[in-house]
Amino acid sequence: MVSARRPLVAGNWKMNGLQRSAAELTKIIAGAGELAARIDIVVCPPATLVADFAARARGSAIVIGAQDCHAEVSGAFTGDISAEMLKDAGAQAVIVGHSERRSTHQETDAEVRAKALAAWRAGLIAIVCIGETRAERTAGHTNAVVQTQMGESLPDGATAENLVVAYEPVWAIGTGLTPTSADVAEVHGVIRQRLGARYGAAGHGVRILYGGSVKPANAGELMHINNVDGALVGGASLKAEEFLGIVNVHR
């Protein structure tokens, strides 16, 4: 993947998808067409489908990613999957620190940081998720929460090629709710400023995705906000038509 702030649309399938779901990937590959020359498109199926999807996507412009990895290379970690295993299966990117993992698996910023480092060690792009809860937003703490998560979840050494930041307000994920465009612009501006302060010129090249109830109907507005370089899409990424509807706003 190249990345001079090329738009990037990533689909997070979460715990959805069986072998027959490869039909959706086939439709995405066909439907992306020449648009894939201008934007990066990433599909992150469950781990069981990564190798098959990567084989099917080979030779196309669609990149296959995973949804999580363990920080260690290998060892006695029953049920876990290392970044090296994902790379070996054909993944080129991995989401780390998704709010569902932070909440249901109690993942800390330090663990997310270790996973991002593991991704880099294996040669994967780390898509690191950050975002505030409803209570944190209501209390006026959004910018502080996001800055703390960035400080503690992002490792040193980020470049435009190895890091993507996904701003996902927890209260907007899977709810149909989205922040106002002004609120998205404000938070993405804060993230951009922190990336520049920490990583210099490299930080200005790191893509910042918005995630949280992105649909074809709202993608046009969200994707044209300053410092929004693309989308991380959950529910609407499961059906090729919907996912392509979001990809297509970059036409």
For binding to ligand PEP (CB under 6 A), which residues are involved?
Answer: 12, 168, 173-174, 211-214, 232-236
SS3 23: helix
Helix-then-strand count for the chain, H and E: 11, 8
Q: Which residue is nearest to ligand PEP (CB)?
A: 234
Which residues are paired to 62 by β-bridges?
A: 41
Minimum Å distance from CB 164 to ligand PEP? 13
Provide CB contacts within 8 A for 80, sequence distance 6+: 70
Residue closer to ligand PEP by CB (options 45, 211) is: 211
Residue closer to ligand PEP by CB (options 199, 247) is: 247
The DSSP string of 131-177 is ---HHHHHTT-HHHHHHHHHHHHSPS---TTTEEEEE--GGGTTTS-
Residue closer to ligand PEP by CB (options 12, 142) is: 12
Q: Is 132 a residue of the active site?
A: no
Choosing from 24, 107, 111, 168, the catalytic residue is 168
Minimum Å distance from CB 242 to ligand PEP? 10
Pair of tokens at residue 173? 């994920």
Residue closer to ligand PEP by CB (options 179, 234) is: 234
Choosing from 70, 84, 98, 100, the catalytic residue is 98
Minimum Å distance from CB 200 to ligand PEP? 29
DSSP type of residue 60: S
Minimum Å distance from CB 168 to ligand PEP? 5
Residue whose tokens read 């996904």: 166
How many CB atoms are located within 10 Å of the residue 71 CB? Answer: 20
Minimum Å distance from CB 239 to ligand PEP? 12
The DSSP string of 72-103 is SSSSS-TT--BHHHHHHHT--EEEES-HHHHH
Q: Whose CA is closest to 136, among 93, 112, 171, 160?
A: 171
Q: Is 242 a residue of the active site?
A: no
Residue closer to ligand PEP by CB (options 84, 168) is: 168
Task: Kindly list the catalytic residues.
Answer: 98, 168
